[in-house]
Amino acid sequence: MRVGLTEKRYLVLNVLDKLGIATVDQIMRLTSFNKSTIYYALKEFEKKDLIKKFKSMQQAVYLITKLGSEVIGDLNFGFSKDERNPNFAIFRHSMLINESVIFYKDQFAERAKFEMERELIAQIISQGSQRREQIVNLPDFVIETEDTRQAVEVELTRKRAAKITKKLVNYKKFIIEGQYTHLIYLYQSLAIRRLVAKCAADVGIEVTFGNLDEMLRGNVYV
């Protein structure tokens, strides 16, 4: 449903729907539209309650609302159930996911497409097998090329070994079934990398690691 939206504004809203949350700069780098085009689009969306604006780290951040997602018509749910602003941990995790997608998009150019966790959730819901609140252990995003489908986890906080192991067992199953070909873990803390590597060795799954500090050097969210 594109009622009342120009093609450019539809594309801006569509990017925000896929990400769930983003800054003007992130949308600009994912669409190649100039800042003023995005700014005026977001201003219109905010007036129509298609998005919600809040400030964090002295910058404007935008969330898709349920109404905004329904205008696109693919996912049909907002960034958060009650449309409250996220806490800082969720905000920063979301920003680093977006920055990682942009990093890989620049690396792959036109050779890859990306699926966000929100899109994966919508696919599962559409199959009628699970409700949204029942869905767990999805990657933060997926990179798909002609030959590969890589699940990517952005892991910022240390978790219990049992929880990591359970997640890796699921990924091993998905890789065997052909749902994914590779698993990538992006991290900041060496302690997290060591824990994931140990659990992966125990499970018998190969994991590729990426250091967020090196990938996103100088980025405000790192």
Both 34 and 102 in one domain: the answer is: no
Average pLDDT over residues 119-146: 82
Both 111 and 220 in one domain: the answer is: yes
Q: pLDDT confidence of 100, banded at 50, 70, 90? A: very high
Q: How far apart are CA 79 and CA 167, in angstroms?
A: 23
Strands 59-64, 51-56: pairing kind:
antiparallel
Tell which of 81, 113, 147 closes a domain.
81
Q: Return the pLDDT at 105.
A: 94
Q: pLDDT confidence of 222, banded at 50, 70, 90? A: low
Here the CATH number for the domain that contains residue 120 is 3.40.1350
Domain limits for position 45: 1-81
Tell which of 60, 81, 102 closes a domain.
81
Task: Write down the mean pLDDT value for the chain.
Answer: 92
Question: What residue has token string 């729907």?
Answer: 17
Here the CATH number for the domain that contains residue 76 is 1.10.10.10
Q: Examine the pLDDT at 2 and tell me if it is beyond 70.
A: no
Both 103 and 46 in one domain: the answer is: no
Both 151 and 119 in one domain: the answer is: yes
Tell which of 81, 97, 119 closes a domain.
81
Q: Examine the pLDDT at 221 and tell me if it is beyond 90.
A: no
